[in-house]
Amino acid sequence: MISANKAHLRSWLEVPAGSDFPLQNLPFGMGHVPVCGLRALSRIGDQAINLAALAEWGYLKGTGIPGPDIFRQETLNPFISLGKPVWSKVRERLLEIFSEDNAELRDHSGARARCLVPVDVVTMAMPVQVGDYTDFYASIDHATNVGKMFRDPEHALLPNWKHLPVGYHGRSSSIVVSGAGIHRPNGQRKPPDEPLPVFGPSTLLDFELEVGFIVGRQTAMGETIPVNRAEQDIFGLVLFNDLSARDIQSWEYVPLGPFLAKNFGSVISPWVVTLEALQPFRVPGPRQDPPVLPYLRHEQPGNFDIRLEVYLQPEGSVPSRICSSNFRHMYWSMAQMLAHHTVNGCNMRVGDLLASGTISGPEPDSYGSMLELSWRGTRPLKLADGQERRFLEDMDQVIMKGYAEMDGLRIGFGECRTTLLPSKSWT
Ligand code: CA
């Protein structure tokens, strides 16, 4: 485990100032490497580390991996299935090999040339095969804002909200990796002043700023994951843009919840950042009042101080930062989400994705969706180039960034980029 006292460690690889990927990060991902093909990777600075090549050259002996082929699969799932002791050992070994005073790879130019690839020639791919995807609603500021807008400003939170992390089952087939283009969905919406619904492209297309975490251990049906050991079953975290069509949503969601407004595309960042890397940034969450039931009670602080930003970039223009939020604002922690999800015996599988729900903070510029930033379209956002936005327009790019920073140590996620494409004709 990397603690704050390892913040001084440096790599013999160059790490540009402001990089999200110092030696202490060592995230995992999948990418297409020229000549080699699809490979499991890690990253330091602007260099991707080809884990299959590293294993071939014998640098990962003693970590518990069965051989280099574990890093030549379609996704990280087979590697994750080896268990936390193995991923932790691989990460610790990477930390050792790439520390500035370690010469074993640094001074071996033949191996170095095979194991390192500039990230700009790598095309990143989906890091995991997501079996099931669950979306929570765990930010108190987001839930309060939505409650104020659509229900009762005096009683914005529903009676269950502070007693359990509210969630719903999403769809995994439409989760894609950063860089994807997502078409504006067609669907039914009911204009408020018309008696009947109409069909066509959504006119209220939105992003949702979320953090997702990837489950690292298969559980059996009937098994529950206790809250105080739930983090052991988390492989790592990603940024997550859970696109939403607000007009389709408001018409369809009664009484069973979101359906086609939410399942046409969600985008994740390609590098999975581990909890070990984020350990120095652990912080207490907000006080939970009323007290939660015993099965949701934590012993250690379960939140993480991760700054989150959203930029909107119209076609041919410059990006404007439209949101600065923080993962520390979550009312419910990841451990509570996982404990709650399994308390009824629901089984988890390696690669399952659990997402936080929109992460809003208390300030108006920290709201994690256009719905809240423009307050249901009533307060248009002014962009740097003078354009205005209430919701997303075709060819807009949404760029999410996330990083934790303290005492000169910065652990980041890179970016999660989505381009909104025009709707497809339905005739
Ligand atoms: Ca969501």
Q: Which domain-ending residue is among 84, 109, 125? A: 125
Model confidence at 1: pLDDT above 70: no
CA of 163 to the centre of ligand 1 (A): 20
Is the CB of residue 50 less than 8 Å from the CB of residue 42? no
CA of 241 to the centre of ligand 1 (A): 8
CA of 208 to the centre of ligand 1 (A): 6
- Furthest CA-CA distance within the chain: 74
Please identify which of the residues 8, 108, 142, 155 carries the catalytic annotation: 142
Specify whether 202 is located in the same domain as 113: no
Note whether residue 94 is domain-resident: yes
Specify whether 152 is located in the same domain as 239: yes
Q: What average pLDDT does the segment 100-105 reach? A: 97
Note whether residue 154 is domain-resident: yes
CA of 322 to the centre of ligand 1 (A): 18
Note whether residue 412 is domain-resident: yes
CA of 27 to the centre of ligand 1 (A): 24
Specify whether 67 is located in the same domain as 156: no
Q: What average pLDDT does the segment 141-162 reach? A: 93
CA of 308 to the centre of ligand 1 (A): 16
pTM of this structure: 0.97
Which tens digits make up the pLDDT trace of 172-194? 999 999 999 999 999 999 999 99
CA of 409 to the centre of ligand 1 (A): 30
Specify whether 249 is located in the same domain as 386: yes
What percent of the chain shows pLDDT beyond 70? Answer: 99
- Chain centroid to CA 337: how far? 15
Phi/psi at 136 (5° precision) = -95, -175
Note whether residue 15 is domain-resident: no
Specify whether 209 is located in the same domain as 326: yes
CA of 266 to the centre of ligand 1 (A): 9
Specify whether 359 is located in the same domain as 221: yes
Q: Which domain-ending residue is among 99, 125, 151? A: 125
Note whether residue 198 is domain-resident: yes
CA of 412 to the centre of ligand 1 (A): 22
CATH of the domain at 40: 2.30.30.230
Q: What average pLDDT does the segment 36-57 reach? A: 98
Instruction: For strands 186-189 and 198-201, give the pairing.
Output: antiparallel
Note whether residue 210 is domain-resident: yes
Which tens digits make up the pLDDT trace of 59-79? 999 999 999 999 999 999 999
Specify whether 49 is located in the same domain as 163: no
Cis geometry, peptide bond prior to residue 258 (ω within 30 degrees of 0): no
Q: Which domain-ending residue is among 125, 145, 160? A: 125
Specify whether 221 is located in the same domain as 340: yes
> Who surrounds ion ligand 1 at CB < 5 A?
135, 208, 242
CA of 361 to the centre of ligand 1 (A): 16
Note whether residue 2 is domain-resident: no
Q: What is the mean pLDDT of the chain?
A: 96
Model confidence at 244: pLDDT above 90: yes
Specify whether 177 is located in the same domain as 86: no
Q: Whole domain around residue 181: which residue ranges?
A: 133-421
- The residues near 3 (Cβ < 8 Å, ≥ 6 apart) are 279, 280
Specify whether 52 is located in the same domain as 150: no
* HSE toward the beta carbon, residue 261, CA cutoff 13 A: 23
**329 flagged as catalytic:** no
Closest Cα partner for 170 from 137, 213, 133?
133
CA of 278 to the centre of ligand 1 (A): 23
Please report the pLDDT score of residue 2 as a whole number: 44
Give CA–CA dist 311/114, Å, rounded: 36
Specify whether 256 is located in the same domain as 388: yes
Number of separate domains in the chain: 2
CATH of the domain at 196: 3.90.850.10
Please report the pLDDT score of residue 8 as a whole number: 84
Specify whether 188 is located in the same domain as 81: no
Note whether residue 12 is domain-resident: no
Model confidence at 151: pLDDT above 50: yes
Give CA–CA dist 309/408, Å, rounded: 19
Please report the pLDDT score of residue 425 as a whole number: 85
Q: Work out the angle at residue 415's Cα, subtended by the Cα atoms of residues 78 and 96, and round it to the nearest 5 degrees.
A: 55
Which tens digits make up the pLDDT trace of 367-386? 999 999 999 999 999 999 99
